[in-house]
């Protein structure tokens, strides 16, 4: 009797397992549980590098109209979020905030800008974006939360190479930040939900060091600013940027050596020129 019960139990468990497997297979085949194709999402993101962004109209947290063209002139970090997310988007946004504070040390808070764009319209309204920023304590002078029109979301996300798929739990979407050059073209894609300052710092450093100085900035101030940026290094132990004083001293020593060689060369040139003049003056003039 006991053996019979065990055989029936095993048969029942096998039938349940087969049913669950078939159900899962059917769900995948029928597309009942949508999922993001990560390989295709990465391909789309990489294909967007170098692309000029469209000047889509948006609204800031106060409901005021802005355009992406407003952010030209400085490097821009762009993160796509949706305010109904309770785990991934808040985690990604707070990690980005910590990275931005580290970038302030290396680059200076006025050297770049940040925007978070809500792609789940009409739910990511200016009020929702303002509440999201307040709830997660995102306070930065150059960081704005923006809402695009519902009918422009698809074109906007495609321009950025940002992929997302609606699921029963919300959205499955690509995690990362887009780095936009001052001219409005996509410079780099940085992937991950817990981005560090050094991951974003390298593409930003490239853009800032290669950019021409502002017309209002003196040549000396531009050189000093570039040296300051070059002399900051990322400390993986503390997760922050710090000044590399050894590199600073090496740069100062190299500059002093170059200046000394230049001064020595000028003095030698002056002495040789003076000697030639004296030789010319000592030669008697030919008699008539």
Mind listing the pLDDT tens digit for each residue in 148-200?
Answer: 999 999 999 999 999 999 998 899 998 999 999 999 999 999 998 888 888 99
Cα–Cα distance measured from residue 241 to residue 238, given in angstroms and rounded to the nearest whole number: 8
Query: Each residue of 238-258: pLDDT tens digit?
Result: 666 665 545 545 555 655 666
Q: Look at residue 272 and tell me whether its pLDDT is greater than 90.
A: no
Question: How far, in Å, CA of 156 to CA of 59, rounded?
Answer: 14
| Sheet (strand 143-146) strand order | 143-146, 113-118, 76-81, 176-180, 186-191
**Terminal alpha carbon distance of the chain:** 147
For residues 147 and 175, what is the distance between their CA atoms, to the nearest angstrom? Answer: 19
Residue 259: pLDDT band with limits 50, 70, 90: low
Angle at Cα 234 formed by Cα 231 and Cα 235, nearest 5°? 120
The per-residue pLDDT for range 97-122, each reduced to its tens digit, is 999 998 888 788 788 999 999 999 99
- The pLDDT of residue 15 is 42
pLDDT of 214 higher than 70: no
- 3 pLDDT exceeds 60? no
- The band of 208, judged by pLDDT with boundaries at 50, 70 and 90, is confident
Question: Beta-strand (E) ranges in 168-277?
Answer: 170-173, 176-180, 186-191, 232-235, 240-243
Model pLDDT for residues 118-139, shown as the tens digit of each residue? 999 999 999 999 999 999 999 9
**Tell me, what's the pLDDT at 19?**
39
Strands 232-235 and 186-191: unpaired
For residues 38-45, give the mean pLDDT.
Answer: 94
Residue 275 — pLDDT band, cuts 50, 70, 90?
A: confident
> pLDDT digits over 215-235, tens only?
555 565 556 556 666 556 666
Task: Using the structure block, give the residue that is written with the tokens 């948006």.
Answer: 58
What is the average pLDDT score of the chain?
79
- Where does the pLDDT of residue 284 fall: very low under 50, low under 70, confident under 90, or very high at 90 and above? low
**Count of C-beta atoms within a 10 Å radius of residue 49:** 14
3-state secondary structure of 75: coil
CATH topology of domain 38-218: Glutaredoxin (3.40.30)
240-243 vs 113-118, strand pairing mode: unpaired
Q: Say whether pLDDT at 24 is over 50.
A: no
- In the predicted model, what is the mean pLDDT of residues 39-61? 95
């Amino acid at each position: 009797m006991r053996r019979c019960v065990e055989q029936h139990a095993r048969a029942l468990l096998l039938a349940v397992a087969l049913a669950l497997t078939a159900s899962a297979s059917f769900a995948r085949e029928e597309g009942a549980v949508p999922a993001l194709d990560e390989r295709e999402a990465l391909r789309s993101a990489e294909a967007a590098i170098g692309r000029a962004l469209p000047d889509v109209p948006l609204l800031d947290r106060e409901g005021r109209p802005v355009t992406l063209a407003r952010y030209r002139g400085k490097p821009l970090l762009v993160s796509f979020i949706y305010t109904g997310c309770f785990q991934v988007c808040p985690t990604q946004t707070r990690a980005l905030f910590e990275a931005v504070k580290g970038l302030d040390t290396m680059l200076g808070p006025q050297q770049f800008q940040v925007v978070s764009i809500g792609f789940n319209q009409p739910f990511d309204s200016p009020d929702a974006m303002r509440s999201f920023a307040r709830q997660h304590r995102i306070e930065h002078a150059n960081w704005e939360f923006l809402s695009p029109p519902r009918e422009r979301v698809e074109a906007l996300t495609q321009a950025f190479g940002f992929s997302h798929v609606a699921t029963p739990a919300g959205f499955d979407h690509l995690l990362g930040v887009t780095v936009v050059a001052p001219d409005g073209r996509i410079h780099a894609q940085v992937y991950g939900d817990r981005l560090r300052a050094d991951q974003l710092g390298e593409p930003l450093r490239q853009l800032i060091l290669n950019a021409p100085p502002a017309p209002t900035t003196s040549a000396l101030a531009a050189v000093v600013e570039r040296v300051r940026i070059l002399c900051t290094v990322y400390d993986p132990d503390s997760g922050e940027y710090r000044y590399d004083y050894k590199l600073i001293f090496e740069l100062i020593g190299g500059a002093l050596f170059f200046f000394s060689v230049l001064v020595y060369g000028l003095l030698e040139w002056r002495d040789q020129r003076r000697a030639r003049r004296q030789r010319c003056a000592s030669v008697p003039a030919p008699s008539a």
